[in-house]
A and B are shown apart, each in its own frame.
Chain A
């Protein structure tokens, strides 16, 4: 089980697309920094994520960008402590840049 982290907007970077292509159904995805934009309900990306992948988004970075109330219900909001727990639940962490 791998935790994949994405810190760039899906508008400016293809890292989320590249990451999605490698994910299997036990993996986890965490969006942080500008990566949180892809968690918006209006984004087409939630529909492209393989079934079984757990989706997380960093609450603090949503709030910093003023989009806390626009998030797809498929995403679980986490704080930094939950981010740490998630990192420990997974065998390894892949940071896509």
Chain B
């Protein structure tokens, strides 16, 4: 069994997010492990709780959330990228006196250190950018 770290830099509106989701499912389906999902740059929008997808399209943030929940994955959202794009958890919302969390449950705000750690620990790192 091998472990992967996936870097997701594409927003839910990009092909990159869907490719990364399909790759993550194939990693799990092949009996390998996902050490960490790292959502970076516009990829943090996959953690946005306020995205509404047309009924006939895949709702990528919800699809990610489902994958994270059902496999207990470590899903880290880059805090600097997230705050710039209006994605905040309860703590950040309180700190900046915003209107409440805009981040889906299952995702965790953290920093680039988590990416460095995953790069050292995982067998492979793969980047999905738009």
Contact = CB atoms under 8 A, between A and B. Distances in A.
A83 B23 CA distance: 8
A95 B126 contact: yes
A23 interface: no
Given A7-B19, A88-B2, A88-B123, A95 B26 contact: no
B124 A95 contact: no
Contacts of B2: 88
Contacts of B22: 60, 80
Interface stretch (B27-35, B43-51, B58-66, B107-115): B27-35
A81 B15 contact: no
B16 A7 contact: yes
Interface in A39-96: 60-61, 79-81, 83-85, 87-88, 92-93, 95
B129 A95 contact: yes
A81 B129 CA distance: 20
Contacts of B30: 81, 84-85
A93 B19 CA distance: 15
Given A80-B26, A81-B29, A84-B27, A93 B126 contact: yes
A32 interface: yes
Nearest to A82: B26
Given A34-B15, A80-B26, A81-B30, 10 more contacts: A80-B22, A80-B23, A81-B29, A83-B26, A85-B30, A87-B4, A92-B124, A92-B125, A93-B124, A93-B125
Those 9 A-B pairs whose CB atoms lie nearest each other, nearest first:
A80-B26, A95-B127, A33-B15, A97-B129, A81-B26, A84-B26, A93-B126, A80-B22, A84-B30
